[in-house]
A and B are shown apart, each in its own frame.
Chain A
Amino acid sequence: MNSLIAHYPSTEFFDELVDGERRPRPAARTLFQHLEALDAAGLDERREAVNAAIMTMGITFTVYSEAGNIDRAWPFDIIPRVLSRREWTRIEEGLKQRLTALNLFIDDLYNEQRIVRDGVFPLEVLEGSRNFRAQCKGITPRFGVWAHVCGTDLVRDKDGTVYVLEDNLRVPSGVSYMLENRQLMKRLFPDLFRASDILPVDDYPARLHDTLAALSPRTGLRPVVVVLTPGIYNSAYFEHSYLAQKMGAFLVEGSDLVVGEDDCVYMKTVSGLRRVDVIYRRIDDDFLDPEAFRPDSALGVKGLMRAWRAGNVGIANAPGAGVADDKVVYAFVPKVIQYYLDQEPIIPNVPSYLCMYEKDKEYVLANLDKLVVKPANESGGYGMLIGPRATPEERKQFAELIQANPRNYMAQPTLALSTAPTLVDHHLEPRHLDLRPFILQSDRLYCTTGGLTRVAMKSGSLVVNSSQGGGAKDTWIVDMGEGEE
């Protein structure tokens, strides 16, 4: 019997690698055979090797509150999270279905607003959305696509059902870590990759490049693609630099770009101004163009919206795409899918209560101790209330916040997030996790093979964000041939 599993505690949660009888799930069998051959010392050795590799490869992230010490080594767990290809294929379809519908939805909101007129999506939600940009009305970007890069968070509940927790349509990050996690694992367990059919993930930068290049207004030329970063103090700077490097794109800051009298975007190079065709922007709408949005923004480029509206530059994600990245709008996505595609959603939403509706609000206020309450427009886990863990004080505060601005809050039951074995002090312990795949859309659709698995490193914790002590695992989609499972 596998000694590692023998000591792995069974819990009330769904475990990704181990079934109810504490046997490895089929897709994880090869993995466990290999792990079994390693004793605790062997595991530790691998982990040491990983830590050294992380330092050498310079895989870091930044925490907002630690401006003085801007680099932190990437917290990586060496036990991968494994999914079967069969399950993944269905999830992938669901993700593509979702993004297709979301893009139709965004395009409709900025144009005819048929979905509002048909009474499917309430006007008051639209009017209350902080991420709806009036400046974008009447525009249809190329292919009608607004969100070219989407990071969708998936979680699995107790009964094994996978839900969409949220869609990140503004500037989702994490994909560089997904790629680096795989590099680390290949360095560490080369034998495993030979023994099982683990699908590769490394075509993402090329696919991202193609997705972006398709937005170029000057067809026929090799487009000049840039990654627009707020700079080295941003928590995702590592990723911006990484993706620029892998795509052969220029990593630029706002001050490197200028919009000319001809409403084209140029970058300042040592040999003069050079036309820019596509901007993969990693800064929020608010800071994008001081002329159109926040006038005090020093990060953006004056006149960028003019250039985009004139069709002289492609911007991904398009300004205003965040309107669908709103936790209240989220609750309507199943209806959005039905409305535009006339299909049932392949991946369900987590049941949600919208405080804008009197009945829902009363339920939320009465059950604050059982629910997770989220503000509409925050990301990264900020400003959330996890009811069962909150103090009565905190719950009272949240009740007041909800009363004051019900449109801004939604609530969901606390899910029993699935777990996976994680190496903690020489042995395996269950830790909660989620999964963030990345979906691309321009002239075609693409979905990463798996995604970034984020894991709460503290026992019992449900918070997986790296900014709040979360870590990551490599995610394996394993092809087991016909008749798998």
Chain B
Amino acid sequence: MMLSRVAENLYWMARYLERAENTARFINSTTQVLLDLPRGASFGWDVLLKAAGLDALYDEHYGQPNEADIMRFLILDERNPSSIVASIHSARENTRTFREVLPMEMWERINGLYLYIRDHAARAARGRGPRWEVLNGVIERRQSIIGLLTGSMSHDLAYQFLKLGRNVERADMTTRILDVNSAVRLPSDTTAPETARERLWMSTLNGLSAYQMYRLHVGVHVSGPAVLRFLLADPHFPRSVSHCLGEIENCLCDLVNYEEPLKVARYAWKRLDGERLDDLTAENLHDRLDQMQGDLAELHTAISRQYFHLHQQSALPEQTLSQ
């Protein structure tokens, strides 16, 4: 038996932590993409904001997009609830409300992550060198938290809600990281545009720690369609959208009354499965990714309706009252 509020806090805590880690990955991989671009290729940092869905919020607080401001906004601005600092802060505050259902060291680890980013965020926003190093520190600490959960937490209800939140957020972030590539326009006179594209996709793989697994399971050559297939539809790579949807399905089946959210999860998976990935072009990729994000948002709504806000309609279901 688990309180809806506690389940929701667990779910969000996992989402916040995943978001922080992925934003760090997102920034690092984009920086790599940028370094690999041929001179003259058009690519603005604002692409990052659009891909993250944060362009409107940015415009409210900042002027013309530039690297320094965007980094400040994505890394440490607490007015942006998705910034790394804000996400980790929210995860930490959430954790206070359910310390009793987590392994003992969990609070210390999350607190440690928070103190780390609080102390180093300003340095990360300052320049590309320290940025890479600090963001990597975030990724490492987050990974150690996942390790702690996997190794020392019973696979109980609390665990399932953590895992749900993690996978919903992860799938969403993978589509957003892919979206950055769709925005790059190579100049028409690029020599060897194929090679340039290849390098871009390689950076994306690197950003998701996926390059080695890609080489192992797909091949040495990096091509757009193959990378998309790997990151969207590979059943075994833990950051692929398909894998995340599979994990979500497993979690749901361990819960009660999962029919509604499961239906939505399966619908998202079916759409992805039916997608003719080879036909995706730089032109239509963005729209397809947008659609996947929409499906994931639906899934989130279905999960919260079923488990977190079931009782908000105030009508008390009869079957529970008469038990």
User: Which A residues lie at the B interface, using CB under 8 A?
Assistant: 56, 58, 232, 237, 241, 244-245, 250-253, 255-256, 258, 260-262, 266-275
Contact = CB atoms under 8 A, between A and B. Distances in A.
Contact of A252 (B3, B161, B257, B311): B3
A266 B5 contact: no
B309 to A, nearest CB: 9
Q: How large is the interface on B (under 10, 10 to 19, 20 to 34, 35 or more residues)?
A: 20 to 34
A269 B2 contact: yes
B255 A258 contact: no
Contacts of B257: 271-272
B219 to A, nearest CB: 44
A260 B5 contact: no
Contacts of B61: none
Contacts of A252: 3
A258 B7 contact: no
Contact of B107 (A58, A258, A260, A262): A58
Contacts of B250: none
A270 B256 contact: yes
B5 A268 contact: yes
Nearest to B4: A268
B1 interface: yes
A129 to B, nearest CB: 35
Interface stretch (B31-39, B67-75, B79-87, B95-103): B95-103
A232 B5 CA distance: 13
B304 to A, nearest CB: 11
Interface in B237-254: none
Cβ-closest 8 pairs across A and B? A245-B100, A273-B320, A272-B320, A271-B256, A268-B311, A270-B307, A268-B4, A270-B7
B320 A258 contact: no
A274 B1 contact: yes
A267 B1 CA distance: 10
B100 to A, nearest CB: 4
Contacts of B311: 258, 268, 273
A268 B319 CA distance: 14
A58 B99 contact: yes
Contacts of A237: 96
A274 B310 CA distance: 13
A250 B320 contact: no
Nearest to B2: A270
14 contacts: A58-B107, A250-B1, A252-B3, A256-B4, A266-B316, A266-B321, A267-B3, A270-B4, A270-B7, A270-B157, A270-B307, A272-B320, A273-B311, A273-B321
B2 A273 contact: no
Nearest to A262: B321
A269 B4 contact: yes
Contact of A244 (B100, B255, B314): B100
A268 B316 contact: no
B63 interface: no
Interface in B249-308: 255-257, 307-308
A241 B1 contact: no
A268 B3 contact: yes
A313 to B, nearest CB: 15
B3 A272 contact: no
B194 interface: no
A268 B312 CA distance: 10
